[in-house]
A and B are shown apart, each in its own frame.
Chain A
């Protein structure tokens, strides 16, 4: 009896029943991968840099000792907020990337069907995959815990904030990871999973609360109250953490803030994760069984491939679709034969219809509130469209060669008599072609509101200049990384990291460093004014309400240029970035035949 009870309890508390041997295998494999150590190192390095810079900027060593002491409490709160925000964003991003290939790798390597021939069930497969990555993410979160604890002791930050932010981050990571894992069942390509997950999160955490608030405002003529705001944001970790942080930084503002019970929020996030994981378990089982019974690659193959396979015996139907003839340079033909708006016409139409409907609804709501006269509205739209364009360009450019490597057609292409330059040109033009539709949002917005008289027509030309160099630059860097790496995911991450560093992290660090040292302002101004987001903001600001008055970024000085001067500056930036883009593309050509995998 005792033995049976002991056995029951040891089984109950043994994680093996939850994950099977998969967790053990995943942990073994991940410990052998260099990238995990690099990731931890990069995480700690970035965290340290941010903390040090925030510390230096808040304490300001130029003042007296008394002044410096008076800054300590602010410094502690700011440092804790920095750490919490950093780990909140970083761990979610890492979770999306880490789990983006969790199931697809098993499907692609045909090991999922093999797993189904063992006593392991699909629940254990899903949990094993999730927990193995979660353990690594918890390790990253744990790295900053001692720092948080020390700063808390000296800074008077409430324990409640430390614990709640940790739990909010953890539950958000579980939800985001579950979502990424779910999408990885349906796509082999990690970048597709990453983009779809980010877009889904954007809809859940940004578009839905925004639309709900705007709709409420449009119906009632008033903004949602505290209770309703809390209801709208309860499923949103960004909102909950934001309000918690605001309450901690400025407790006096608490009266005007919506109240959030963080355990309830965490419970909601865990429940949502459970729903997503249940769906994953069901779908993994379906895919695994299909693979185990010999219907391999089922979730990856396109429906049309099935149709073709099914009708393979029927010659009449095979001949029904007439193949297209190759025209012009072969690589260029292959790249351009890809339909601009995707292959699945019905799905594309429905997707475009839903997106455009949502977009026009937001325009209608803005028009109702007379926000279309406001420059900030146009800046917001333009920046969002620019960000979307950059994201898609980064991804598409990075996939152009790695996708050939992954489908193993790259050596075949290199074994032909084509010059490397022909291949490079074809790939480059193909990338521009595929990127074009996403930039229609930015162009469309500018053109429509220019025709409607809200935006000055010169903005169309200036946006054209901006888009041209952003696309050429990112296509060049994408081609380079695509030629360097075997896997699409690595190339996408590298291209994304480059864009994030030069247009996000570096400017941020430079602003903080210049703020501390008070040197190098001129260089910072010039550097910041080459940033595409600054360009977009300046163009939209000058085109909506202040025609001809372009206010470029400056630190304490007047930097207003007229239309001609600003356009000239934009052309200078265009030439510089385009040259850089071509340089990267040129270097890519040299890497074509190195390490062809």
Chain B
């Protein structure tokens, strides 16, 4: 479990993290989002013992990051928002070096390195120098490095930035796999659609303060962002609009070209009602498609986008 209590970090007059209280449960994937300069990276760096907080406390599995730095580092795998490489070190050597740095016994290292290479699909690159890898490959290598000492907690700062769509999908699958393995994952990203798909909980931070923390549904509910469906009918669209507007569960009906956007009232959800109503009126339904809940909308509403 990751927990922060009144965590504060000042850089001179600038408060990067301001009284941050955060709780991430074991086995969760926690999406940490916020505008640039909101304090995400600073929070993550404090959690991995790279920075000392000015005030407040942070705990990883109950261990104070300030007092038990070494024990915390053993528990945590940290992937920064940049790839630190050593010139002329090969992929295998790079990973084995970090395995040794985490105190893994020499006889176990080879199999562990081979294992993470396989997990991240980097076996074919094991003898290539790290600085010659492409950006996507380097990100994968970063992930492999994070996993080398089998940490219980993963803290990943924008792991998908600069990756092509295929690599992003692969990393997403990998994270799901890691969740299945019981890892607690804290991940920051600017690609909100991806976080929507993999995160159990979301934390939104701005000006160093946590403006929201909870599930996606909780955010949308709190903001009054209701579920929507798109309805297409083969004929008589005006009649369909008339019928749907009359339904008490529906708050708003709008026509956009060949489809009708239907917004339900808070707490209401009923594709079945729409289908029944239209079929009863002898209208031919082409499709009824639920519109996905958007984290982008919540993010825009909750943050002002002002960088300090």
CB <8 Å contact, A326 and B102 = no
**A330 with B97, Cβ < 8 A, contacts A409-B86, A411-B50 known:** yes
The B52-77 residues at the A interface (CB cut-off 8 A) are: 52, 70, 73-74, 76
What's the least CB distance linking A423 to chain B, in Å?
A: 9
In the complex, A321 has a CB within 8 A of chain B: yes
Annotate B73-106 by CB proximity to A: 1 below 8 A, 0 otherwise.
1101010101111111111110011111111001
Which residues of the other chain, A, contact B127 by a CB distance below 8 angstroms? 318-323
The A31-72 residues at the B interface (CB cut-off 8 A) are: none
In the complex, A370 has a CB within 8 A of chain B: no
Stretch at the interface among B25-33, B128-136, B172-180, B247-255: B128-136
**A416 with B131, Cβ < 8 A, contacts A334-B86, A409-B86 known:** no
In the complex, B48 has a CB within 8 A of chain A: yes
Interface size class of A (residues with CB under 8 A): 35 or more
In the complex, A414 has a CB within 8 A of chain B: yes
Bound-state Cα–Cα, A334 to B84, Å: 15
Which residues of the other chain, A, contact B101 by a CB distance below 8 angstroms? 330-331, 413, 416-418
CB <8 Å contact, A343 and B84 = no
Q: Which residue of B lies closest to A309 (CB)?
A: B132
**A334 with B80, Cβ < 8 A, contacts A409-B85, A417-B74, A419-B70 known:** no
Q: Which residue of B lies closest to A328 (CB)?
A: B100
In the complex, B190 has a CB within 8 A of chain A: no
CB <8 Å contact, B80 and A411 = yes
What's the least CB distance linking A411 to chain B, in Å?
A: 5
Bound-state Cα–Cα, A26 to B84, Å: 30
CB <8 Å contact, B73 and A416 = yes
Which residues of the other chain, A, contact B45 by a CB distance below 8 angstroms? 411
In the complex, A345 has a CB within 8 A of chain B: no
What's the least CB distance linking A543 to chain B, in Å?
A: 42
The A484-520 residues at the B interface (CB cut-off 8 A) are: none
Annotate A417-435 by CB proximity to B: 1 below 8 A, 0 otherwise.
1110000000000000000
Determine which of A315, A321, A330, A596 lies in contact with B100 in the assembled complex, contact meaning CB atoms within 8 Å: A330
Bound-state Cα–Cα, A302 to B129, Å: 11
CB <8 Å contact, B84 and A323 = no
Bound-state Cα–Cα, A321 to B84, Å: 23
In the complex, B301 has a CB within 8 A of chain A: no
Determine which of A326, A330, A410, A415 lies in contact with B48 in the assembled complex, contact meaning CB atoms within 8 Å: A415
In the complex, A557 has a CB within 8 A of chain B: no
Bound-state Cα–Cα, A304 to B48, Å: 35
**A333 with B100, Cβ < 8 A, contacts A327-B106, A417-B73 known:** yes
**A417 with B70, Cβ < 8 A, contacts A319-B127, A326-B97, A327-B106 known:** yes
Which residues of the other chain, A, contact B93 by a CB distance below 8 angstroms? 323-324, 326
What's the least CB distance linking A301 to chain B, in Å?
A: 7
Bound-state Cα–Cα, A208 to B85, Å: 41
CB <8 Å contact, B132 and A408 = no
What's the least CB distance linking B300 to chain A, in Å?
A: 31
Which residues of the other chain, A, contact B70 by a CB distance below 8 angstroms? 417, 419
Q: Which residue of A lies closest to B100 (CB)?
A: A330
In the complex, A412 has a CB within 8 A of chain B: yes
In the complex, B124 has a CB within 8 A of chain A: yes
What's the least CB distance linking A431 to chain B, in Å?
A: 16
Number of residues in B with C-beta < 8 Å to the partner?
45
Bound-state Cα–Cα, A308 to B127, Å: 9
In the complex, B125 has a CB within 8 A of chain A: yes
CB <8 Å contact, B88 and A302 = yes
Determine which of B80, B124, B126 lies in contact with A323 in the assembled complex, contact meaning CB atoms within 8 Å: B126
Bound-state Cα–Cα, A419 to B109, Å: 20
Determine which of B50, B97, B128 lies in contact with A308 in the assembled complex, contact meaning CB atoms within 8 Å: B128
CB <8 Å contact, A326 and B129 = no
Bound-state Cα–Cα, A140 to B4, Å: 53
Bound-state Cα–Cα, A56 to B100, Å: 62
What's the least CB distance linking B117 to chain A, in Å?
A: 11
In the complex, A312 has a CB within 8 A of chain B: yes
CB <8 Å contact, A308 and B132 = yes
**A412 with B98, Cβ < 8 A, contacts A312-B125, A318-B128, A321-B127 known:** yes
Bound-state Cα–Cα, A521 to B93, Å: 57
In the complex, B189 has a CB within 8 A of chain A: no
What's the least CB distance linking A403 to chain B, in Å?
A: 9
Q: Which residue of B lies closest to A314 (CB)?
A: B124
**A407 with B49, Cβ < 8 A, contacts A322-B127, A417-B101 known:** no
CB <8 Å contact, A409 and B84 = yes
Which residues of the other chain, A, contact B90 by a CB distance below 8 angstroms? 321, 323
In the complex, B145 has a CB within 8 A of chain A: yes
Determine which of B49, B52, B85, B88 lies in contact with A343 in the assembled complex, contact meaning CB atoms within 8 Å: B88
CB <8 Å contact, A596 and B50 = yes
Query: Most A CB atoms within 10 A — which of B49, B78, B97, B126?
Result: B97
Which residues of the other chain, B, contact A334 by a CB distance below 8 angstroms? 86, 89, 97
**A417 with B103, Cβ < 8 A, contacts A320-B127, A407-B86 known:** yes
In the complex, A25 has a CB within 8 A of chain B: no
**A407 with B128, Cβ < 8 A, contacts A415-B48, A593-B50 known:** no
What's the least CB distance linking A470 to chain B, in Å?
A: 28
Q: Which residue of A lies closest to B91 (CB)?
A: A323
Bound-state Cα–Cα, A326 to B92, Å: 10
Bound-state Cα–Cα, A367 to B64, Å: 71
The A278-317 residues at the B interface (CB cut-off 8 A) are: 301-302, 304-306, 308-309, 312, 315
CB <8 Å contact, B49 and A415 = yes
Query: Most B CB atoms within 10 A — which of A305, A333, A415, A417?
Result: A415
CB <8 Å contact, A318 and B96 = no
CB <8 Å contact, A407 and B85 = yes
What's the least CB distance linking B252 to chain A, in Å?
A: 48
Which residues of the other chain, A, contact B52 by a CB distance below 8 angstroms? 593
Q: Which residue of B lies closest to A329 (CB)?
A: B100
In the complex, A325 has a CB within 8 A of chain B: yes
Bound-state Cα–Cα, A349 to B246, Å: 89
Q: Which residue of A lies closest to B51 (CB)?
A: A596
Determine which of B49, B78, B132 lies in contact with A305 in the assembled complex, contact meaning CB atoms within 8 Å: B132
Annotate A329-344 by CB proximity to B: 1 below 8 A, 0 otherwise.
1110110000000010
What's the least CB distance linking B306 to chain A, in Å?
A: 25
13 contacts between A and B (CB under 8 A): A321-B127, A326-B96, A333-B97, A343-B88, A408-B82, A409-B84, A409-B86, A411-B78, A412-B78, A412-B98, A412-B145, A593-B52, A596-B50
Given A305-B131, A305-B132, A318-B125, 12 extra CB contacts under 8 A: A304-B129, A326-B97, A330-B97, A330-B101, A410-B84, A411-B78, A412-B84, A412-B98, A415-B73, A416-B101, A417-B149, A418-B101
Q: Which residues of A contact B (CB under 8 A)?
A: 301-302, 304-306, 308-309, 312, 315, 318-327, 329-331, 333-334, 343, 404, 407-419, 593, 596
What 9 A-B pairs have minimum CB-CB distances, sorted nearest first? Answer: A409-B84, A330-B100, A416-B101, A323-B92, A408-B84, A308-B132, A305-B132, A330-B101, A323-B90
